[in-house]
A and B are shown apart, each in its own frame.
Chain A
Amino acid sequence: MRKAILTSQVWRAVFRRPLPRSPREQKQAARNNFFLHLHPATLPRQRLRLTTTFCMGGISFLLFIILTVTGLLLMFYYRPTTAFAYRDMKDLEYAVTMGQFLRNLHRWAAHGMVLTVIAHMARVVYARAYKPPREFNWVVGVSLLVLTLFLSFTGYLLPWDQLAYWATSVGTNMLRAMPVLGAAGPASLVDLNTDVGFYFLGGRVIGESSLIRFYVLHVFVLPVVAIVLMMVHFWRVRKDGMLKTPL
């Protein structure tokens, strides 16, 4: 039976080769498998040490994946309107199987990701891993940090509770204070109906249109940009000669 499956055309169409045993086959495995090809075929043993990266970049990526999965599941239950948003939170808590757990996981993974991304940045600094030829990847990284923060910020409004509402208003008031482009900022050239805050909130105050804007940013625009930047980031890690050695 096992043999029949392993030698069937379907199985072999998916997995071209049997499990690698020899060193040569192992190298090929890393090269030929889509999910493994992020890795080099071989790497210096020294780089396996925990202190090389403290796993912080990888854990950031893992948390991003966890956030994507839990976020997608939350989307099944959440409606981004002022009439439903808060009610759907309550439903998650009381009516949806494992709903509260889902929300918790999404929330704590988000906090965790901010922390690991900052730690990742710190290790890159102390390892001098931003030096040429990695300058560009550093800049991509800083953009990812900003994106991570924006993702958290836009997600914070979605539960539509007091915490969300007022914390977001602290943030958008700062936006309003932007020089030149904010209505309350120095040297302002705009009024409350034309400033950055208005475009961001879709109105003068946080309301229905702000919620949908934050939602679209949070579940589509920012994640897509983040995914593209991560692909560039990982690609450049490989192209820039893998991790900086020695550390």
Chain B
Amino acid sequence: MLENAPLEAAASGEAEETEVGAARQGPDGADRVPSYPTLVFLELLAVLAVTAFFVLLSVVFDAPLEGEANSAFTPAVTKAPWYFVGLQELLVYFDPWMAGVVIPGLIVLGLMSLPFLEDSRRTGRSPTPRRSRRFGNVVFTVGLTFWFLLILVGAWFRGAGWRFVTPWSAVAAGQGQNGAAQSWSFSPLAGALVVGAYLLLVACLGWRFRGSFLPRMGRFRYVWMVSLLALMGGVFLKIALRLLWDVHYVVTTPWGSM
């Protein structure tokens, strides 16, 4: 799946432009096969294989079922299903309104806007330059890897009270990452300075690298893309601050802190 080198190589060929027409005429009549039975047969094989796999899985492993729900008894640790554990792990570093609402919301919006960040109708359907293609791959791969890393940590390295544990020792190691007690927050002034410096840095980088993007994307899309990247970088930075120096909040306001 992640093996994209061959895809890259193939996609950079000239044939790119003919993709729509190709479906109807075909580059070469002789090289076309009928859907029925060739493709349908392959699909049948895939269906059988996948079904067999899941049937086998269900014979061997039972779905979990714990004691009946009891609002009076809070378990030592509650883990969401694995695909949400990433968000849960983010709760260590962010308040719920960031970890559960703002960040996932922006990830979804960012994903949705992806095709509009790479191509502009104004410039037609020119193939994406190689360099920005690589850039896109890197950003997507980093994001996806990071997402699964969060899941990994949340699923296997968190014990009672969401404290850091190693899967091979059930005993909690180190002190609670969650414990607000030993963590500290920036003063409002320091927080404003840090955030201001970060935004300035983002703006400078955005200005520095506008060359290969701005003409193709236009101002609005470029600003949106830089904002999304800034959000991604911000999340990484906040996590680093927390892990390295136990910073709880960078900005503290009466309405919400992060």
Contacts and interface: CB of A to CB of B under 8 A. Distances in A.
Interface residues of A, number: 102
A244 to B, nearest CB: 6
Interface stretch (B106-114, B226-234, B235-243): B106-114
Interface stretch (A3-11, A164-172, A219-227, A228-236): A164-172
A126 B96 contact: no
B50 A247 contact: no
A184 B40 CA distance: 53
A182 B97 contact: yes
Nearest to B30: A45
Nearest to A116: B50
B192 to A, nearest CB: 17
Given A62-B50, A93-B65, A142-B111, A45 B97 contact: no
B74 A186 contact: no
A162 B81 CA distance: 13
B interface, by DSSP: helix, strand, loop or mixed?
Answer: helix
Given A132-B121, A162-B67, A23 B34 contact: yes
B236 to A, nearest CB: 20
B33 A101 contact: no
A139 to B, nearest CB: 5
Contact of B40 (A39, A101, A135, A156): A39
Interface of B: 1-2, 4, 6-8, 10-11, 13, 15, 19-24, 26-27, 31-40, 42-43, 46-47, 50-51, 54-55, 57-59, 61-71, 73-75, 78-84, 87-88, 95-97, 99-102, 108, 111-112, 114-116, 118-119, 121, 125, 128, 133, 136-137, 140, 144, 253, 255-256
Given A142-B111, A179-B97, 14 more contacts: A20-B36, A27-B34, A100-B62, A126-B2, A132-B121, A156-B81, A162-B69, A162-B70, A174-B97, A182-B97, A182-B101, A185-B256, A241-B19, A247-B10
Interface of A: 20, 23, 26-27, 29-30, 33, 36, 39-46, 48, 51, 54-56, 58-59, 62-63, 66, 82, 86, 89-90, 93, 100-101, 103-109, 111-112, 114, 118-119, 121-123, 125-128, 130-135, 138-139, 142-143, 145-146, 149, 152-153, 156, 159-167, 169-171, 173-179, 182, 184-187, 205-207, 240-242, 244-247
